[in-house]
Amino acid sequence: MRNLPPLNALRAFEAAGRAMTFRAAAEELGVTQGAVAQHVRALEARLQVQLFERRHRDLAFTAAGRAYHEAVERAFSSIETATARLQPATAEVTISVTPSFAACWLIPNMRSLTEAHPDVELQIRATERLASFYSDPVDLSVRQGRAPFGAALRAELLFENRQIAVAAPQVAGLARAAPERATLLHEPHGRWPEFFDQVLGLSGERAQRGAKFSQTALAIDAAAMGQGVVLAPEVLVERHIAERRLVQVWPGDYLGARHFYLLARNDVALRPEVEAVWDWCLSMRKTVR
């Protein structure tokens, strides 16, 4: 048997040597501060060498402690590297989407992606801010926009922005009977006045009132809770309709000018895992008319 100190004692010493406090080392290791201090004392007793100078708020290495810590840290790094080589590498792909698209479409469909590409680890950046492929670590993006795009972007139409009016079943009947008295919910990109004018043939002035939400997903959730009728992209409410949490209130739809596009850089070849996610996104277009 090798004459090695206990592994837990070495881990406590290595963590304490990086943080220079027992408290921070304890937080990292998920143990108590007293446990870390006890491990270090046991290690010093075994080695018969003082490794730290205990000060009021922190620690300081002794000369022997500093040299020993460097050796222990190298040993742990070597083990970590060897372990990583044995484990299958995951292929990370980062996609930038709005919070509403993530909540209403991407996350509900992620199982299909995982089943098709189990080695791909999708990193979702949900933000309203437009991502830059040149300054942000992003591989793909889904955003609403108008074609044509610049030559620097590879763009493919993912879904038309076909907006339909939906509500919880118990609300839909009342709204159908009296559209002018329906409680309307507004999402940021909704077009209730245009919908009233062009689809229902009613004055759009009434359609400007009602609760307003900063994110489409919030307005959809409010509608599913029976709080009113929301005009939202069909692609973002398809799951709620399939689960009968929402139903279409009035026939007809309003086609917005800005549609959902899948975007990537056009000046570099996509990595195989990025290309796989790109192809998967396009294959999902059939789920919505």
- pLDDT tens figures, 160-187: 999 999 999 999 999 999 998 899 999 9
Same domain for 119 and 246, yes or no, is no
* pLDDT more than 70, % of the chain: 97
| Whether residue 47 has pLDDT greater than 80 | yes
Rounded to two decimals, the pTM is 0.68
**Residue 110 lies inside a defined structural domain of this protein:** yes
Same domain for 141 and 266, yes or no, is yes
**pLDDT at position 41:** 97
**pLDDT at position 115:** 94
- Peptide bond preceding 5: is omega within 30 degrees of 0, i.e. cis? no
Same domain for 157 and 283, yes or no, is yes
Q: Which residues contact 59 (CB under 8 A, 6 or more apart)?
A: 16, 17, 20, 21, 22, 52, 53
Same domain for 179 and 235, yes or no, is yes
| Whether residue 157 has pLDDT greater than 70 | yes
Residue 16: name the closest of 63, 45, 54 by CA.
54
Residue 282 · residue 158 · CB < 8 Å? yes
Same domain for 118 and 55, yes or no, is no
Same domain for 30 and 141, yes or no, is no
**Residue 1 lies inside a defined structural domain of this protein:** no
Tell whether the torsion through CA atoms of 33, 36, 37 and 38 is positive or negative: positive
Stretch 10-39: mean pLDDT, rounded?
Answer: 94
Same domain for 103 and 139, yes or no, is yes
**pLDDT at position 244:** 96
**Which of 45, 61, 86 is the C-terminal boundary of a domain?**
86
**pLDDT at position 288:** 46
Same domain for 191 and 202, yes or no, is yes
Same domain for 55 and 107, yes or no, is no
Residue 51: name the closest of 27, 25, 28 by CA.
25
Number of structural domains in the chain = 3
Same domain for 150 and 197, yes or no, is no
**Residue 119 lies inside a defined structural domain of this protein:** yes
- pLDDT tens figures, 178-235: 998 899 999 988 789 999 999 998 887 777 788 999 999 999 999 999 999 999 999 9
Q: If phi over 0 gives left and psi between -120 and 50 gives alpha, with beta otherwise, what is residue 244?
A: left
Same domain for 75 and 129, yes or no, is no
Q: Are strands 259-265 and 153-159 parallel, antiparallel or unpaired?
A: antiparallel
* pLDDT more than 90, % of the chain: 75
Write the CATH number for 177. 3.40.190.10
Residue 192's domain spans which residues? 162-255
**pLDDT at position 90:** 67
What tokens does 160 get? 């038309």
- pLDDT tens figures, 229-270: 999 999 999 999 999 999 999 999 999 889 999 999 988 889
